[in-house]
Amino acid sequence: MPKQRDVQAQRDRLSNATWQVLAQDGLPGLTLRAVADRAGCTTGLVMHAFPTKKALLLHARDLLYERTAIRADAAEAASGDAFGALAAVLGQAVDLPHGHYEESRVWVGFLAAALADDDLADRHRAANHSFLARIRRLVAACRPEWTDDRLELTTKSLVALVEGMNVLAAADPAGYPARLQQNALAKALTELAPARA
């Protein structure tokens, strides 16, 4: 019987291979064979952990959610006020100079697959709703006097901006460089910034 550590090491290796294949080869390139080749193992081992392409996609989406949630938690915790936390969380969510280009490609690949699969779409919506709830909480902390309608509009506009830039930058990184993304986000946050003394 394999040790638990060996099983976890195998799963980590397969996770990394799944991530790399989806990030580099996109949705059409994500096959059990491609993951096995990248992980240096047999397709049988891949199928033991992820029996279908859908299982691979769900795993990649969960891994993306975990990574981004950890970064968002850290960005929020390191900020001194609500506006700083909002700017930091949104700033780490876009593909600025943080090196999250692969994450954008994984996200786009998953989203493309989710358009034709209810289970994948449900997983996408759950992660998106979690991000929306975080941003709405921070927007409300910046502007407690705003109505629910204004909070919802601002929240969804900010999330659409960062997720839209991620999608566009994944396909056209030269057209959406880090500086443009930073400036677009800064402009969108203007009405939420604290008043200067």
**pLDDT in tens for each of the 197 residues of the chain?**
455 557 778 878 888 898 889 888 888 888 889 999 999 999 998 888 888 888 888 888 888 888 889 989 999 999 999 999 999 999 988 865 555 677 888 888 888 888 999 999 999 999 999 999 999 999 999 999 999 999 999 999 999 999 999 888 888 888 988 889 889 999 999 999 887 54
Evaluate whether 85 touches 76 at the Cβ level (below 8 Å). Answer: yes
- CATH number of the domain residue 64 falls in: 1.10.357.10
Evaluate whether 165 touches 116 at the Cβ level (below 8 Å). Answer: no
Amino acid, res. 48? H
- CATH number of the domain residue 37 falls in: 1.10.10
pTM: 0.85
Residue 197: inside a domain = no
Give me the domain span that covers residue 6: 1-51
My answer on whether 46 and 60 are in the same domain is no
Residues comprising the chain, all counted: 197
State how far the Cα of 152 lies from the Cα of 45, in Å rounded to an integer: 45
